[in-house]
Amino acid sequence: LLTITRVNNDFPFMRYLSDSYQRDRIKYNLEDNALTVPKWFKSKKYFQNMVEQKPKKADQTKQAINGYCNRILPILSFAPMIRIDDSIKLISQYLIITTNLIQKMCTE
C-alpha cells in the first residue's frame, strides 16, 4: 500500500480506504448493523476482484485497513457518552438566575 502511495504521486490511498470504510460504517449504523472490516471487505467489488486475483495482497490490505483504523484513525463511537437535558424551561431559568446574580453583584 505504501508503494501505491509513492508511485501515484503521494496519493493517500490508505487514508481514502479507511475513510470509505468509516463512511460505510455510518451508513450501516443507521440501519442498526455493525460493520466490521472483513464484512466491508466482502461487500466491495474492488476487494472481491483483489481476492480472486491476488489473495495474499487482499489479506494484507484487509489487515492494513484494520490496523490503520485501530492505530491511526480510531473507530467512530456512535454511543453517546452522556445524555444532555436540553429543556428550554430549565435553560431559561438558569439564564434568569445568572443575570439576576450578575446584576446583584454589580450593584453591591
pLDDT tens across 27-41, in order? 877 766 678 888 888
**Residue 32: left if φ>0, alpha if ψ -120 to 50, beta else—which one?**
left
Residue 55 pLDDT exceeds 60: yes
Q: In the structure grid, which three cell numbers stand for residue 4, read together?
A: 501505491
Residue 69 pLDDT exceeds 70: yes
Q: Are 37 and 66 in contact (CB under 8 A)?
A: yes
Return the higher-pLDDT residue of 9 and 11. 11
Identity of residue 97: I
User: What pLDDT does 100 receive?
Assistant: 94
Identity of residue 33: N
High-pLDDT (> 70) share of the chain, %: 81
